[in-house]
Each structure stands twice: as structure tokens, then as C-alpha cells.
Amino acid sequence: MFNNSPLRLLALAAVLSLAIAVPAAANTKVNVRVEGAKATLFDGAVAATPGSLRANIGSDRAAHLCNSAFNKGFGSVAATPTRALLAASEAPLGDRLLPLGLQWFGSLSDFFLVSAGAEKPSGAMYWSYWVNWKSPNEGGCQFALKPGDQVVWAVTDGSMPLLRLRAAKTMRAGASLTAHVTNAHTGAAVAGALVGGARTNAAGNVKLKLRRAGSKRLVASKTGAIRSNAVKVRIR
């Protein structure tokens, strides 16, 4: 009778719920892409965790939490874009992001990314981030990430469009491949973007002929815009 009591069942449910929730909050798998002014610094999957960061710029060099809930974010404790950036810097090939220059602003309860490796924007340029092609209103420690989120950190002046590239991932050698480039924020077609050595037309499209079997990595770029995601095409 006791083993099947409502109180015991509720207790077991609470334990199971906690066991499921804690790993999800502690280890959130996301993709992080970091775009410097002249090159892509990192692009890969990482396991981001909630935790703290230590400021190394400014008068406050202490460690502060960066887990959304503590930083005036919404919801429970979660991994954040800035913590995901830290995970990227600790991943294989992430050394180009080191050191991360972080300044703590207590009034905002958040860190400001000053630099990543040799990339230290000046003048009107600064580091900003996007999640799933959107620019959140929250700071980098205030946005709660979910598994599978796409995080982009990039150097921008605030007006530069983030390019989004779409193309088939497989094709026959010698056939034509149509790539499409848009402004990720508005969805509008982007003309004049460079993809695989050719420029997009007014509809944001470009046709490419890839003649050799193998694989090809395509990226869209344009002066005054942030580079696109990479599309890896397998050529049969």
C-alpha cells in the first residue's frame, strides 16, 4: 500500500522531472558561428552550459554568473549565447577566439564582448549576436538557449544585414545548382552577393556549375553585410 501511495508517486515524479531537467539545462547542444570582419573564426557544434565568466577588461575583474535567470533574463537557469561563445573558444579549432575580452556592466547585469582573439572592433563597429537568424533584445547572458539553436556572433555596425544562404546539399557533377541569398532579418532577396565566384541577381539567385565530383563549401559574402552560413554540397 505504501509503495503505491499518491505521496510516493508524486515524489518519484518530482525526482524524475529533476533528473531530466538538470542535464538539459546543464548541457545544451547548439551550433555557434563566429564571423570576424574578414574571416569566419569558428563554425561548429558545442555543448553550452550555464555558469559564470570572469571579466578581464575594466575595473571589475570578478567572476559573475551568465545563466539568464541571474542576469535579468526570463525563465529558469539556462545556457546563454555568451556561454556558448566560451564553449566555442574551448572547442577544437576554437583557439582563434582566444582570449575573449569581456567587460562586466553591473547596471545591466551582463557582459560586453570587447574582443575575440585578434578581432577587436573599433569606431562604430562592435560584437553582436543572433539566435536562429533573429537579433534578440536581451544581452548575451540574458537569452536562454534551447537545444538545436543556431547562434551567430559577428562584428557589425548595427545596420549590416546577416546573409542567409540556401542551396541543395547534393547534385550531379556538371549540373546547375541554384543558390539563394536573403537578408536573414527581413527575408528579402540580396542582389550582388558573391557565392562560388558568381554574383546573385536581383532575385537573390545565382546558378553554379560544379563539374568535379567531391564536396564544395559555399558561403555568401557582400561588402557591408555579414557572411552567410556555409552550405556543404556533395557532388556525385
How would you class 136 by CB atoms within 10 Å of its CB: exposed for 0-12, middle for 13-18, buried for 19 or more? Answer: middle
Q: Cell triple for residue 231? A: 552550405
Residue type, 223: T
Spatial distance between the Cα atoms of 178 and 181, rounded to a whole number of angstroms: 10
Q: Specify the residue for cell string 545565382.
A: 206
Q: Cell triple for residue 45? A: 557544434
Within 8 A by CB and 6+ apart from 233, the residues are 167, 168, 169, 170, 171, 177, 210, 215, 216, 217, 218
β-bridge pairing 150-156 and 28-35:
parallel
Are residues 138 and 81 in contact, defined by beta-carbon separation less than 8 angstroms? no
Largest CA-CA distance found in the chain, in angstroms, rounded? 74
How far is C-alpha 129 from the geometric centre of its chain's CA atoms?
7
β-bridge pairing 163-166 and 176-183:
antiparallel
**pLDDT value at residue 75:** 82
Spatial distance between the Cα atoms of 114 and 105, rounded to a whole number of angstroms: 12
Spatial distance between the Cα atoms of 194 and 46, rounded to a whole number of angstroms: 29
Within 8 A by CB and 6+ apart from 5, the residues are none
pLDDT digits (tens, 9 = 90+) for 71-115: 999 888 999 999 999 999 999 999 999 999 999 999 999 999 999
- Tens of pLDDT, residue by residue, the chain (236 residues): 323 443 333 332 332 232 333 344 569 999 999 999 999 999 999 999 999 999 999 999 999 999 999 999 988 899 999 999 999 999 999 999 999 999 999 999 999 999 999 999 999 999 999 999 999 999 999 999 999 999 999 999 999 999 999 999 999 999 999 999 999 999 999 999 999 999 999 999 999 999 889 999 999 999 999 999 999 999 99
- Calculate the CA dihedral of residues 157, 88, 109, 162 and round it to 10 degrees: 30
Q: Cell triple for residue 44? A: 561548429
Q: Compute and round to an integer the Cα radius of gyration of the chain.
A: 21
Residue 98's CB is within 10 A of a number of other CB atoms, namely 11
**How many residues are given for the chain?**
236
Residue type, 134: K
Backbone angles phi, psi at 55, to 5 degrees: -70, 140
Task: Kindly write down the DSSP assignment for every residue of 34-50, as one continuous string.
Answer: EE-SSSEEEEEEEEE--
pTM: 0.88
